[in-house]
């Protein structure tokens, strides 16, 4: 029997860079409230799970509802969020999908206030090749802020 | 008519990495107050625009004046700044220049105090090939802290 | 006589990416309190120096003692740390080792509290090739928080 660890293979440099680029664009789309384009980075049956959510969101429609609610909530507060991704680690599974882990620090800026850390998270994705790009098949976000349930509204 | 979007082309992995490396060095030079070397990363007629500035700084001499004023101001306060760049996205324009966008989080540390987020910004550059390196032809910094005009002094 | 600067050579894109990946894993191991695996990323005679330490830690055993003390201290406080690495710059020395510099922002999350910046640091490593991976031969961490001696316990 093959263990999970041994079933993962390194990705090539080109793939790692490509995934970095994918995330740079994906996070920017969310932060700019470009929800439709952001949703297009998920598989149609993509799943978004988070320790801040009571249960996973299954499919783009479910992900869209909560994402739009998050955008509305931020707009009402005048808040700008930036999802700062570091520490990207990616490996290939035997079926060709990619397991990618990263730190995503969410920084919030409110009008007339200084920016501050809003959440420290670990993001674990399963990515599918799609044309010359990628799609998120499954995302799992773990919030470091374990004792505090974040609003369900936020995409990351 | 060609739209702006379709006029942009992906950069190769080598170029993307090279630009990452360029920024790592450029931000470090500024944070270490190595102003002359930092200025050398701008084209002679480089332009530095920011939502915190009343008008763009045109040319190295103008950029230098404000950068040195920023360095002096930080020294007087005993402040150390770090420009943390994430989310780099780069594309090539038909004329061979690069359009590069990134998040730059500025973290400030004062003596005897903890470090804190000083500003959350989006940095958009036009980069020129120069020998085996790069030069900033035009930089535009957007501060998330929209309601608050940052001091004109800060380079980023 | 050859100056230090001229004795450094650029690394290839593949090596730079490989080092990015190395750090992503190394920081994650520390943040997840996987001390044994983290120690395996240091050479047996590796040295860990920090402006927060009265003297360098020499050898894995010394590094392990303080790292485990740091893990215990964080567990008692219920703190989670994330080491967010940006600004990686790497060069090759004539002897084949790599000099790598990066910014490492340490973000702390306590139960029931928001996350916040805990320390802003500059990390300078000498890295050795080891099989298809890397080992830290010498690490020097400079804390921006110059006026404040951080606990000796923290690995980064």
State the CATH number of the domain containing residue C127: 3.10.450.50
In this structure, is residue B90 part of a structural domain? yes
In this structure, is residue B30 part of a structural domain? yes
**Taking CB atoms and an 8 Å cut-off, how many pairs form between chains A and C?**
73
Tell whether B148 lies on the interface with A, counting CB pairs under 8 A. Answer: yes
Give the up-direction half-sphere exposure of residue A99: CA atoms within 13 A in the CB hemisphere: 11
* pLDDT value of position C94: 94
Tell whether C73 lies on the interface with B, counting CB pairs under 8 A. Answer: no
Assess whether pLDDT exceeds 80 at residue A75.
yes
- pLDDT tens digits, one per residue of A95-128: 999 999 999 999 999 988 899 999 999 999 999 9
In this structure, is residue A97 part of a structural domain? yes
What is the pLDDT tens value at each position of chain C, 156 positions in all? 344 455 789 899 999 999 999 999 999 999 999 999 999 999 999 999 999 999 999 999 999 999 999 999 999 999 999 999 999 999 999 999 999 999 999 999 999 889 999 999 999 999 999 999 999 999 999 999 754 444 433 333
In this structure, is residue B155 part of a structural domain? no
Closest C-alpha among A36, A51, A71 to residue A155: A71
Distance CA C17, CA C7 (A): 22
> Given its phi and psi angles, is residue B38 left (phi above 0), alpha (psi -120 to 50 degrees) or beta?
alpha
* pLDDT value of position A112: 84
Distance CA B155, CA B33 (A): 11
Task: Collect all residues of chain B within an 8 Å Cβ-Cβ radius of residue C86.
Answer: 24, 84-86
Strands (E), chain B: 9-10, 42-50, 57-58, 80-92, 98-109, 116-130, 133-143
State how far residue C29 is from chain A, nearest Cα, in angstroms. 11
Structure tokens at B44: 């002679």
Distance CA B155, CA B125 (A): 14
In this structure, is residue B11 part of a structural domain? no
Tell whether B120 lies on the interface with A, counting CB pairs under 8 A. Answer: yes
Distance CA B26, CA B28 (A): 5
ipTM, interface predicted TM-score of the complex: 0.90
* pLDDT value of position A2: 41
Quote the domain boundaries for residue B130: 23-143
* pLDDT value of position C103: 98
State how far residue B112 is from chain C, nearest Cα, in angstroms. 5
Q: How many domains does chain C have?
A: 1
In this structure, is residue C90 part of a structural domain? yes
State the average pLDDT over residues A132-156.
70
CB contact under 8 A, B82 and C89: no
In this structure, is residue C1 part of a structural domain? no
Tell whether B84 lies on the interface with A, counting CB pairs under 8 A. Answer: yes
- pLDDT tens digits, one per residue of B32-67: 999 999 999 999 999 999 999 999 999 999 999 999
Tell whether A147 lies on the interface with C, counting CB pairs under 8 A. Answer: yes
Cα–Cα separations (whole angstroms), residue C126 to B152, C47, C90, C99, C134: 38, 10, 10, 5, 10
């Amino acid at each position: 029997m093959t263990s999970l660890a041994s079933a993962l293979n390194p990705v090539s440099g080109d793939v790692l860079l490509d995934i970095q680029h994918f995330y740079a664009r994906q996070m920017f789309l969310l932060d700019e409230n470009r929800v439709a384009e952001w949703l297009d980075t998920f598989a149609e049956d993509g799943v978004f799970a988070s320790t801040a959510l009571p249960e996973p969101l299954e499919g783009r429609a479910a992900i869209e509802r909560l994402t739009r609610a998050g955008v509305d909530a931020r707009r009402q507060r005048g808040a700008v969020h930036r999802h700062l991704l570091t520490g990207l680690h990616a490996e290939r599974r035997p079926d060709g999908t990619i397991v990618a882990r990263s730190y995503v620090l969410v920084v919030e800026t409110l009008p007339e206030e200084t920016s501050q850390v809003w959440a420290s998270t670990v993001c674990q994705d399963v990515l599918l090749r799609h044309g010359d790009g990628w799609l998120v098949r499954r995302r799992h976000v773990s919030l470091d802020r374990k004792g505090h349930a974040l609003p369900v509204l936020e995409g990351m």
